[in-house]
Amino acid sequence: MPELSLAERPHQSERPQSERAMIEIRDVTRSYGAFKALDDASLTIKEGEFFSLLGPSGCGKTTLLRMIAGFDNPTSGSIAVGGQPMDGIPANRRPTNMVFQSYAIFPHLNVEQNVAYGLKRLKLQGDEERRRVEEALAQVSLTGLGKRGATELSGGQRQRVALARALVMRPKVLLLDEPLSALDKKLREQMQVELRRLQQAVGITFVLVTHDQYEALAMSDRIAVMFGGKIAQVASPKEIYQRPVNRQVADFLGGMNFVKAEIVEENGASLVLDTLGFGRVRTDKPKAFVRNGGQATLGIRPERLRVLWDNATAKFEVAGKVVERHYFGEITHLIVEIPGLEKPLSVTETNDFGADDIPVGAPIRLAYDPEALVAMAD
Amino acid sequence: MTAAAEGSPPLRMTQVRRSALLQSEPVQGFALISPTFLYALILLVLPILVVFAHSFWTQNYLTIDHTFTLENYRVALTEPIYRDLLWRSLYISLTVSVLTVILAYPIAYFISFHGGRHKSLWLFLITIPFWTSYLLRVMSWKVILGYNGVLNSGLMGLGIIDEPSTALLYNSSAVIITLTHAWATFAILPIFVSLEKVDRTLVEAATDLGDGPLRSFLRVTLPLSTPGVVSAMLIVMIPTVGDYVTPKLVGGKDGVMIANAIQAQFGKASNWPLGAALSVTTMVIVTLMAGATVLIIRAAQRLAR
Rounded to two decimals, what is the model's pTM?
0.81
**Contact (CB<8Å) A165/B209:** yes
**pLDDT in the model for residue A284:** 82
CATH 1.10.3720.10 at B73-304, yes or no: yes
Put simply, whether B204 touches A (Cβ < 8 Å) is: yes
**Contact (CB<8Å) A118/B209:** yes
Q: What is the CATH architecture of A255-377? A: Beta Barrel (2.40)
Is A192 within 8 Å of A212 (Cβ atoms)?
Answer: no
Class of domain A6-242: alpha beta
The residue in chain B having the minimum alpha-carbon distance to the alpha carbon of residue A93 is B210
Rounded CA separation A23/B121 (Å): 44
Closest CB from B207, B215, B220 relative to A91: B207
Best B201, B208, B221, B225 member to test A by mutation, with max A CBs in 10 Å, is B208
**pLDDT in the model for residue A313:** 85
φ, ψ of residue A292 to 5 degrees: the values are -130, 85
Residue B303's pLDDT band, with cuts at 50, 70 and 90, is: confident
**pLDDT in the model for residue B101:** 96
pLDDT exceeds cutoff 50 at B2: no
CB < 8 Å to B210, chain A: 92-93, 118, 121-122, 169
**pLDDT in the model for residue B9:** 52
**Contact (CB<8Å) A106/B202:** yes
**Contact (CB<8Å) A165/B305:** no
Instruction: Examine the predicted complex and report whether its ipTM is higher than 0.85.
Output: no
pLDDT exceeds cutoff 60 at B5: no
**Contact (CB<8Å) A98/B199:** no
**Contact (CB<8Å) A169/B199:** no
Put simply, whether B206 touches A (Cβ < 8 Å) is: yes
Rounded CA separation A240/A192 (Å): 19
Q: What single letter denotes the amino acid at residue B282?
A: T
Higher pLDDT, B193 or B269: B193
- Write out residues 224-243 of B within 8 Å (CB-CB) of A: 224
How close, in Å, is residue B202 to chain A by CA atoms? 5
How close, in Å, is residue B238 to chain A by CA atoms? 27
CB < 8 Å to A97, chain B: 208-209
Burial per residue of B250-278, b for 16 or more beta-carbon CB atoms within 10 angstroms, e otherwise: bbbeebbbbbbbbbbbbeeeebbbbbbbb
The burial class, CB within 10 Å (0-12 / 13-18 / 19+), for A86 is buried
Chain A interface with B: residues with Cβ < 8 Å:
69, 71, 90-93, 96-98, 100, 102, 104, 106-109, 113, 117-118, 121-122, 165-166, 169
CB < 8 Å to A98, chain B: 204-205, 208
Domain ranges in chain A with CATH number 3.40.50.300: 6-242
Residue B17's pLDDT band, with cuts at 50, 70 and 90, is: low
How close, in Å, is residue A105 to chain B by CA atoms? 7
pLDDT in tens, A217-230: 999 999 999 999 99
Closest CB from B201, B219, B305 relative to A100: B201
**% chain B with pLDDT above 90:** 50
pLDDT exceeds cutoff 60 at B47: yes
**Contact (CB<8Å) A117/B219:** yes
Domain ranges in chain B with CATH number 1.10.3720.10: 73-304
**Contact (CB<8Å) A102/B199:** yes
**Contact (CB<8Å) A108/B209:** no
User: What mean pLDDT value characterizes chain B?
Assistant: 88
**pLDDT in the model for residue B130:** 83
Residues of chain A with pLDDT under 50: 1-13
**pLDDT in the model for residue B98:** 95
| Average pLDDT, integer, range B195-202 | 95
**Contact (CB<8Å) A97/B209:** yes
Closest CB from B204, B208, B211 relative to A121: B211
Put simply, whether B140 touches A (Cβ < 8 Å) is: no
Best A62, A68, A92, A101 member to test B by mutation, with max B CBs in 10 Å, is A92
Strand order in A222-227's β-sheet? A96-99, A173-177, A205-210, A50-54, A222-227, A230-235
**pLDDT in the model for residue A6:** 45
**Contact (CB<8Å) B305/A109:** yes
Domain ranges in chain A with CATH number 2.40.50.100: 255-377
Query: Which residues, at least 6 apart from B128, have a Cβ–Cβ distance to it below 8 Å?
Result: none
Closest CB from A96, A104, A121 relative to B205: A104
Angle at A102 between CA A96 and CA A106, to 5 degrees: 80
pLDDT in tens, B54-67: 999 988 878 888 88
Higher pLDDT, A23 or B30: A23
CB < 8 Å to A122, chain B: 210
How close, in Å, is residue A180 to chain B by CA atoms? 17
Give me the helix-helix angle, A111-120 and A155-167, nearest 10°: 20
